[in-house]
Amino acid sequence: MKLLRFVYACLSMIVACLMTPCSYNKLSGLQQIGISTIPYATAYGNGHKIAVTNSFFTDTIYVVYSSGDQTYCVTGILCSGYIPQWSSPINFSKTTGNAFSPAISLDTANVLHAVWRDTRDGQKEIYHTFLQDTTWSTPTNVSQTTGNSVMPSLDADGFGRLHLVYADSTSGNWEIYYQCYQNGSWNNPINISSDSGKSFYPSIGVYNDSVFICWEDNTLGNYEIFQRVYHDTIWSDIINISNSSFDSRHPSLSSPSSWDQGFSVIWKDSSSDGYSINVIGCNGGTVGDRTAIAEYPVISNVSTTWSYLAWEEGGYLFARTYYFMHGGWPLPDTIGFGGFPNVAGDNYVWTEDAGGSYNIIYAEAGYPIGVSGQPATPRKEPITVHVRPNPFKDKIHVSINVGKGQLLVFDVYDLTGRKIKAGSISLNRNEFEWDGRNDAGFNLPGGVYYIKVNTGVEQQIIKAIKIN
């Protein structure tokens, strides 16, 4: 049976390669943003590798990865749905040992913080640094335990605090440790798992002032996914959230952005007839049985409207996008070759095997709006849309590179995907204005809106922010 399953998995991968080559281009803005010497440069999915500022004027995107014995950060500025140029990689670990498995998060002041596993002190410890202006601070040893500390996962809350979890062997077996960073200093490590089994692969997510932590644990004989919540200075009981008789591994929590209204936990489950990927929480569900072993699933939510997930399977990368108007999760797309995907918002990054070297690949999924697909006949020159000012108060100007006199259809959606303004216009000056009102003429409250511009053969979606 195992041999037949292996043969079937191999055949399935060959068929996927032959029949779905165009699905690699499902994501937009596909770019190589770095090169690594190791095949697991973006490992692991429990620690967030992407951070997005989501500021009023532009989105700054940070990506971290490992190469050789160091960790690196690259930065890109998102303009009209595309990043024209990425910065050169910056080495922020600067270690004499071996640095690996970085994780990042932005605090309330949009200061970027990074943690990683480092051996400069002779054993594996968790180090921390932050980016102030254009300079990284001197790395500091956060864990300082007598055992080995590995697999850090980092997230920030809305009160200026950082929350860190990692696996640690100080007690004799692997346990999950937690630390909080506030007012420029870290508190002492706290063992939050305290069981007889191996607690490993922790992931953290913060929603409002609640800290959610998940990890895998084999105390019950097989690996299960456990969760614990820290809220209002009180730790909840430890809860088994997988409850499977088969191994459940590699949990990952979505990394909330400023407008998220919830997050999910995702993991792989080796069920009796295949491998499935389970999602609970915001936009939950199950990705059906897989023909090959699904590894390192990751997920990110944008409110309860969109969810983006990815996983590695037999050397390929798969992705699915949830959109509430589509009624759930569609079939997965093959998005690339390689492994160790990460996702934040609609931004993806992974490690691609380039035959001797390993490329760091970035791509953007975009925000699907409406129930129809993209028009089938693209222009030779893709349309570009610019909005100004952004954020806006009274009105926003939209300019587009199409011919004058062309009929243009534009729709405005709120953050839930509900269409609140519809219109068409014959362009006289390659631009038009939206006054921030809905179809009924009411002035809309401040918040995030999406303007969809359709020329009849192509469409673009632009994020606009209205302030009161």
Q: Environment class of residue 354 by beta-carbon count within 10 Å: exposed (0-12), middle (13-18) or buried (19+)?
A: middle
pLDDT tens, position by position, 277-331: 888 888 878 777 776 788 999 999 877 788 899 999 888 899 888 887 776 787 7
Q: Does domain 385-466 have CATH number 1.10.10.60?
A: no
328 against 132, higher pLDDT: 132
Portion of the chain with pLDDT greater than 70, in percent = 85
Amino acid at position 264, single letter: S
Closest CA to 206 of 159, 268, 149: 159
Q: Which residue has the tokens 């953050």?
A: 415
Residue 446 phi, psi (nearest 5): -65, 150
| Extents of the domains making up the chain | 28-364, 385-466
Q: Residue 160: is its pLDDT beyond 80?
A: yes
Average pLDDT in the 51-64 region? 80
Q: State residue 39's pLDDT score.
A: 95
Higher-pLDDT residue of 213 and 285 is 213
The whole-number pLDDT of residue 33 equals 96
Q: How many CA atoms lie within 13 A of 317 on its CB side?
A: 26
Same fold: 28-364 with 385-466: no
Q: What is the per-residue pLDDT across 382-403, written as a single tens digit (0 to 9) for each? A: 667 788 888 888 899 888 877 6
Task: Provide the percentage of residues in the chain whose pLDDT is more than 90.
Answer: 48
Q: What is the pTM of this model?
A: 0.80
User: Which CATH number applies to 28-364: 3.30.565.10, 3.30.70.2190, 2.120.10.10, 3.40.50.1820?
Assistant: 2.120.10.10
pLDDT digits (tens, 9 = 90+) for 17-34: 333 333 333 677 689 999
